[in-house]
Amino acid sequence: MSFYVESRRRRYAASVVLAGLAAFPLLAQALDQGFYVSLMSRVLIYALAATSLNLVLGFGGMVSFGHAAFVGLGAYTVALLTSAGAVSAWVAWPAAVAVSALAALFVGAVSLRTRGVYFIMITLAFAQMLYYLIVSLKTWGGDDGLPLAARNILGAGIDLKDDANFYYAVLACLVATLLLVGRLIRSRFGRVIQGIRENEARMEAIGYPVFGYKLACFTIGGALAGLAGALLVNQTGLASPNQMFWTQSGMLLVMVVLGGVGSLYGGALGAAALLILEEVLSGYTIHWQLGVGAVLLTVVFLAPHGLAGLATVVARKRHG
Amino acid sequence: MTQLVLEQALNGLQFGLMLFLLAAGLTLVFGIMDMINLAHGSLYMVGAYIAASVAEQSGSFVLAVIVAVGATAIIGALLELAVLRRLYRRDHLSQVLATFALILVSNEAVRMIWGDQPVMLAMPEALSGPVEIGGFMYPAYRLLIVVVGVVAAASLYLLVAKTRLGMWVRAGASNREMAQAMGVDVRRLFTIVFAIGAALCALAGALLGPLLAVQVGMGESILILAFVVIVIGGIGSVRGALVGSLIVGVSDTLGRALLPTLLREIVPLEIAASLGPALASILIYLLMATILFWRPEGLFPARA
Say how far apart CA B231 and CA B10 lie, in whole Å.
Answer: 24
Lowest pLDDT segment from A1-15, A36-50, B139-153: A1-15
Q: Which of A132, A248, A258 to mutate to test the interface with B (most CBs of B within 10 A)?
A: A132
Interchain contact A150–B (C-beta under 8 A)? no
- Inter-axis angle of helices B238-266 and B140-162, nearest 10: 140
Say how far apart CA B175 and CA B160 lie, in whole Å.
Answer: 16
- pLDDT-derived band at A6, boundaries 50, 70, 90: low
Chain B partners of A289 at a C-beta cutoff of 8 Å?
A: 104-105, 107-108
E strand or H helix that includes residue B179: helix B176-181
- Tell me which residues of chain A, numbers 98 to 127, contact chain B at a CB-CB cutoff of 8 Å: 110, 113-114, 117-118, 120-122, 124-126
Say how far apart CA A221 and CA B29 lie, in whole Å.
Answer: 32
Interchain contact B182–A (C-beta under 8 A)? no
Q: What is the dihedral of CA B258, B263, B265, B267, to 10 degrees?
A: -170
The reported pLDDT for the residue numbered B16 is: 93
CATH class of A8-27+34-319: mainly alpha
Pairing label, strands B136-139, B130-133: antiparallel
Tell me the backbone φ, ψ of residue A154, rounded to 5 degrees.
Answer: -90, -25
- Mean pLDDT, to the nearest integer, of A18-40? 79
The reported pLDDT for the residue numbered A142 is: 76
How far out from the chain centre does Cα B221 lie? 11
Min CA distance, B54 vs chain A (Å)?
A: 25
Which among A122, A137, A292 has the least Cβ separation from residue B289?
A: A122
The reported pLDDT for the residue numbered A320 is: 46
Which among A118, A126, A261 has the least Cβ separation from residue B231?
A: A118
Closest alpha carbon to B75 in B108, B115, B45: B45
Q: Name the residue in chain A with its Cα closest to that of B102.
A: A293
Residues 6+ apart with CB under 8 A from B74: B195
DSSP chain A: -------HHHHHHHHHHHHHHHHHHHHHHHTT-THHHHHHHHHHHHHHHHHHHHIIIIIT----S-HHHHHHHHHHHHHHHHHTT--BHHHHHHHHHHHHHHHHHHHHHHHTTS-THHHHHHHHHHHHHHHHHHHH-GGGTGGG-EE-SSPPB-BTTB-TTSHHHHHHHHHHHHHHHHHHHHHHHHSHHHHHHHHHHH-HHHHHHHT--HHHHHHHHHHHHHHHHHHHHHHHHHHHSEE-GGGGSHHHHHHHHHHHHHH-TT-TTHHHHHHHHHHHHHHHHHHH-TTHHHHHHHHHHHHHHH-TTHHHHHHHHHHHHHH-
Closest alpha carbon to B241 in B47, B9, B29: B29
Contact A122 B38 (CB under 8 A): no
Confirm if A176 and A94 have CB atoms less than 8 A apart.
no
Say how far apart CA A320 and CA A314 lie, in whole Å.
Answer: 10
Contact B109 A261 (CB under 8 A): no
Residue B131: strand, helix, or coil: strand
The reported pLDDT for the residue numbered B5 is: 82
Contact A114 B292 (CB under 8 A): yes
Confirm if B254 and B9 have CB atoms less than 8 A apart.
yes
Burial class (CB in 10 A: 0-12, 13-18, 19+), B38: buried
Which among A118, A132, A253 has the least Cβ separation from residue B281?
A: A132
Lowest pLDDT segment from A80-84, A104-108, A117-121, B111-115: A117-121
The reported pLDDT for the residue numbered B303 is: 59
Q: Which of A289, A305, A307 to mutate to test the interface with B (most CBs of B within 10 A)?
A: A289
Closest alpha carbon to B216 in B109, B98, B66, B64: B109
Burial class (CB in 10 A: 0-12, 13-18, 19+), A316: exposed
Interchain contact B96–A (C-beta under 8 A)? yes
What are the pLDDT digits (tens) for A166-180? 899 999 999 999 999
Contact A261 B93 (CB under 8 A): yes
Closest alpha carbon to A254 in B235, B26, B104: B104
Which among A63, A129, A138 has the least Cβ separation from residue B93?
A: A63
For chain A, which residues make up each domain, given as ranges? 8-27+34-319
Contact B96 A118 (CB under 8 A): no
Q: Which of B35, B275, B285, B294 to mutate to test the interface with A (most CBs of A within 10 A)?
A: B285
Q: Which amino acid is at B13?
A: L
ipTM of the complex: 0.79
pLDDT cut 90: percent of chain A above it: 32
- pTM for the complete prediction? 0.84
Contact B105 A121 (CB under 8 A): no
| A176 vs A84, residue with greater confidence | A176
Which among B36, B87, B105 has the least Cβ separation from residue A293?
A: B105
Contact B86 A114 (CB under 8 A): no
Task: Tell me: pLDDT of A181 over 90.
Answer: yes
What are the pLDDT digits (tens) for A248-265? 898 898 899 888 888 888
Interchain contact A276–B (C-beta under 8 A)? no
Task: Tell me: pLDDT of B236 over 90.
Answer: no
The reported pLDDT for the residue numbered A223 is: 96
Task: Tell me: pLDDT of B106 over 60.
Answer: yes
Interchain contact A284–B (C-beta under 8 A)? no
Contact A292 B101 (CB under 8 A): yes
Which among B96, B104, B220 has the least Cβ separation from residue A289?
A: B104
- B91: alpha, beta or left, given left = phi > 0 and alpha = psi -120 to 50? beta
| A87 vs A230, residue with greater confidence | A230
Contact A300 B87 (CB under 8 A): yes
The reported pLDDT for the residue numbered B44 is: 94
Min CA distance, A166 vs chain B (Å)?
A: 32
Contact B285 A258 (CB under 8 A): no
Residue B119 DSSP one-character state: B
The reported pLDDT for the residue numbered B76 is: 93
Min CA distance, B260 vs chain A (Å)?
A: 12
Ordered domains of chain B (ranges, CATH)? 2-294 (1.10.3470)
Contact B101 A293 (CB under 8 A): yes
Min CA distance, A23 vs chain B (Å)?
A: 33
- Mean pLDDT, to the nearest integer, of A59-88? 89
Contact A250 B94 (CB under 8 A): no
The reported pLDDT for the residue numbered A316 is: 66
Closest alpha carbon to A224 in A54, A1, A62, A34: A54
Contact B285 A126 (CB under 8 A): yes
| A278 vs B293, residue with greater confidence | A278
